[in-house]
A and B are shown apart, each in its own frame.
Chain A
Amino acid sequence: MNTFLSRNRLIVLAYIGMLLLVLITAFFSPGFLSASNLRSTFILASFVGIVALGQTFVIIGGGIDLSIPWVLNSAAVLMTLLCAGQDLPLIWVVPLLLAGGGLIGLLNGAGVALLGVPPIIMTLAANVILQGLILVFTGGTPTPAAPDMIKFLSVGRISGIPVIALIWTALTVLAWLLLSKSAFGRHLYAVGTNVTVARYSGVPTTRTTILTYVISGMTAALGGILLTGYSGVAYLGMGDSYLFTTVAAVAIGGAPILGGSGHYIGTVAGALVLTILTGLLPALNLSSGALLVVYGAVILLTVSIGSETFSEMWASASNRRKRIKEGTENG
């Protein structure tokens, strides 16, 4: 564990930042630390965290998944339509939609790993195509309400603990096992670090890359299904904010956008930071436009503090200060 922490200093930094943010928020809006508020913060963070799980895998592998918004949205719309408010169909609808999300990921991954399409283009195209298909399919009409079971999973509690937090915890454990304790994890980090070296070391690079997109498609679909329970209905555009938040959660969590390192444990902190931030900003009495500006700027700042150039700047600045102090350099 010690080596994990020393190798992932940025993750430690993300958690420290999160604690600071909690203190600041508690100062500005004292109600923040109440049980009900903490619970709703956790519920909201869970959606970001679950959807960002797949994004974390894709980014570690050196790619990016921009198809998340409409994979999520499609799963939400199809779930409500296919269940029509009933719990029973969930038995086959949920597995079907998860498989569907996985299939979109498979296509994304195949395009990237087999055909060499740049990830940005491949997944952006998938996103637009899905958006079009859903618009054609629904004709823009509202869909039925979410089944009660889904509502229970999203906002229900078991002895005071939100069910979705339990789901999130289970997924976090699974992601940790995959990244830190499995051969797939080693392959993934190798592919993200240097795909040629990975190939020359006998790593199944194509399969590894494709699998990250499959995971991302599945977590996006799962996120869509669960989010419907929170909002009560599926609506068009409900996934749009998740593109930025998933990438930001991964980045705040310390994973370099070019891949090769980082961990889902960091993304968890990233998801919490983002959610707490959206809770803090209204407390500052800002207009909704100003809110977005601050939101974006804070994320930009957090991510750049962790970036390599920034830390190099810090290092060289402090070296210079030291030299000036020692008198080996003037001014």
Chain B
Amino acid sequence: MDIVQVKGLTKRFGGIVALDGADFSARLGEVHALLGENGAGKSTFIQILSGALNHDGGDILVDGQDYRPVNPDEALGRGIAAVFQELSLVPDLSVEQNIWFRREPRTWLRTVDVSQMRQQTLELFERYHFPSIATTREVRNLTLAERQIVEVAKGLAKNPRILILDEATSALPASEATWLLSLARQLADEGRLVIFISHRMGEVRAIADRVSVFRNGSTVATHDAAAVSDDQIVTEMIGRQLARLYPERMDTATDRVALQVRDFSSPPMLNGVNFDLREGEVLGVGGLQGHGQREMFQSLFGADKALGSVTLWGKPVCFDTPRQALSGSEGIALVPEDRRGQGLLLTKSVRENLSLPVIRRFSHLGLLNQRKEAELVRETMKSLSIKADTPEQIAGTLSGGNQQKVIFGKMLMTQARVLLLYDPTRGVDVGTKGEIFQLMRQLASEGYAILFYSSDLPELVNVADRVMVLRSGRVARMLEGDDITEEEILRAAVFDSEAA
């Protein structure tokens, strides 16, 4: 008998129907993937399953017994734990303190048994071959990827029968993502159920036994992974046939250099980067995570300090703040890594978010021309097909893909024609991904110059005109033409080219 059985599950938030009669069924010993566009109801579904939300109607049976947890602790009591996309770690606590948070091993004095806790952590890490992270480091000093790994450890430490992984690979670089996939497989082989959410079809293909597809708040179908084609899944997800994910390649690059970067350094992460980004070009940035990509993007945008010379459309520039980078007719705009922490005012409307960088442009004698603002906002929403009820919808209630489009819109409303895109498709559904790539190509053909970092290798290979691979804060290789393959990018990222 299937351990989890869900029938006709419904959930509304005010007037919005998030789940509309979803059915689901899964058994121990399998990796069960959930697929669906953002906003299809996957997140709501797993939040209900993990006790973070209550459902309005329908039945959930776990072990054949009625299941309606009021909080995550109660869910764990039935053997269900979840690793969420929104990270839930306490920044001031160490790795091990976070992993055993509220469930710390105690001494007979009821104080925390530190050595026991460390022992358990190391055992856990060893048993599941965790990438090495010092257990005593404070979480605030970890990278996003490392935090995600700790989050996985925290979920595993609860020893659940059912583990939910919500886009856990999206923040991970390739090697760690591979590890997590084999971990999921291992857990299933141990006789647990792993419910796995990812927007990367390759990952789902690699490990899932079965696949359930969500659309508009209900489940469309459940398939044996081996018996279903990618095309069929994508069609089910979006309810129509997707023309193609990656846009046709066009060489729109001109000879004009938009952004010239020389000796760009901010030790220890960035140690002398040199490159030219041309008008009309999409220049990919690859490499293992933590080799200076983030620092390079932040510093070019003026959000961090760096030394070296930067020339923008032939003029030397030096940005100390993002404001300087964004202002003026020849600026640099950034679509940042952390959508919720850097990109969007989640509690404000789509309109307020879109017009924020350029709000002064609507100011006349100190007063805002709100009609002009509304007009431009509407145009931007239309041209990027941002799906919101009205411009007044609160940005935090949009799906991830639409939130990302709002951030694109913000940046496109400025005059900047050099765009820095830091992992712009992270956690974005496949339909929106296609739209974003299409948009990038279109912008390039309009004369924008685009610097594009992605943690997903196929994206670099299929979208970028050239790919520069960073290693230890330097450009290890600049790949062009037929050299742009996943293998070459990885080779350049890992091996010392001089030794080769």
Contacts and interface: CB of A to CB of B under 8 A. Distances in A.
Specify whether A and B are partners. Answer: yes
Interface of A: 3, 177, 181-183, 186-187, 189-190, 193-194, 196-204, 260-261, 319, 328
Contacts of A181: 367-368, 370
Contacts of A204: 323
B392 interface: yes
Contact of B322 (A190, A193, A199): A199
Contacts of B334: 200
Most chain B CB inside 10 Å of its own CB: which residue of A177, A183, A199, A328: A183
A183 B341 contact: no
B89 interface: no
Contact of B360 (A183, A194, A198): A183
Contacts of A183: 359-360, 362-363, 368
Contacts of B303: 199-200
Contacts of A319: 54
Interface of B is mostly: mixed
Contacts of A200: 301, 303, 322, 334, 336, 342-343
21 contacts: A177-B366, A181-B368, A183-B363, A187-B359, A189-B348, A190-B345, A190-B348, A190-B356, A197-B344, A198-B345, A198-B356, A199-B322, A200-B342, A201-B326, A202-B327, A202-B356, A202-B357, A203-B323, A203-B357, A204-B323, A328-B57
A200 B323 CA distance: 7
Interface in B326-372: 326-327, 334, 336, 341-348, 352, 355-357, 359-360, 362-363, 366-368, 370
Interface string B405-428: 000001000100000000000000
Given A202-B357, A260-B347, 16 more contacts: A181-B370, A183-B362, A183-B363, A183-B368, A186-B352, A190-B348, A197-B341, A197-B343, A200-B334, A200-B342, A201-B326, A201-B357, A202-B322, A202-B356, A203-B323, A261-B347
Interface in B358-398: 359-360, 362-363, 366-368, 370, 392
B321 interface: yes
Mostly helix, strand, loop or mixed at chain A's interface?
helix
A328 B54 CA distance: 13
A245 to B, nearest CB: 28
A319 B11 CA distance: 12
Nearest to B352: A186
Given A194-B341, A194-B345, A203 B356 contact: yes
B345 to A, nearest CB: 5
B474 to A, nearest CB: 26
B323 A202 contact: yes
B323 A3 contact: no
Contacts of A328: 57
Nearest to A328: B57
Range for the number of chain B residues in contact with chain A: 35 or more
Nearest to B370: A181
A177 B367 CA distance: 8
A140 to B, nearest CB: 45
Nearest to B339: A197
Nearest to B366: A182
B414 to A, nearest CB: 7
Among B322, B343, B356: residue with most chain A CB under 10 A: B356
Q: Which 10 A-B pairs have the closest CB atoms?
A: A202-B326, A202-B323, A202-B357, A201-B356, A183-B363, A186-B359, A201-B357, A193-B345, A183-B359, A183-B360
A198 B410 CA distance: 12
Contact of B367 (A182, A196, A203, A260): A182
Nearest to B360: A183
A204 B302 CA distance: 13
A196 B356 CA distance: 13
Most buried by A among B327, B336, B341, B345: B345
A193 B357 CA distance: 15
A194 B342 CA distance: 8
Nearest to B394: A7
A189 B352 contact: yes
Contacts of B321: 199
B486 to A, nearest CB: 31
Contacts of A261: 347
Contact of A193 (B57, B343, B348): B348
Contacts of A182: 363, 366-368
Contacts of B343: 197, 200
Nearest to A187: B359
B367 to A, nearest CB: 5
A181 B362 CA distance: 10
Contacts of B342: 196-197, 200
Contacts of A201: 322, 326, 356-357, 410
Contacts of A177: 366-367
- Looking at A189, A190, A202, the one whose CB has the most chain B CB atoms below 10 A away is A202
A242 to B, nearest CB: 29
A261 B352 CA distance: 13
A202 B323 CA distance: 4
A268 B346 CA distance: 27
Nearest to A185: B368
B391 to A, nearest CB: 10
Interface in B83-132: none
A187 B358 CA distance: 11
Nearest to A204: B323
Contacts of A3: 392
A201 to B, nearest CB: 5
Nearest to B367: A181
A247 to B, nearest CB: 22
Contacts of A190: 345, 348, 352, 356
A186 B322 contact: no
Nearest to A260: B347
A63 to B, nearest CB: 18
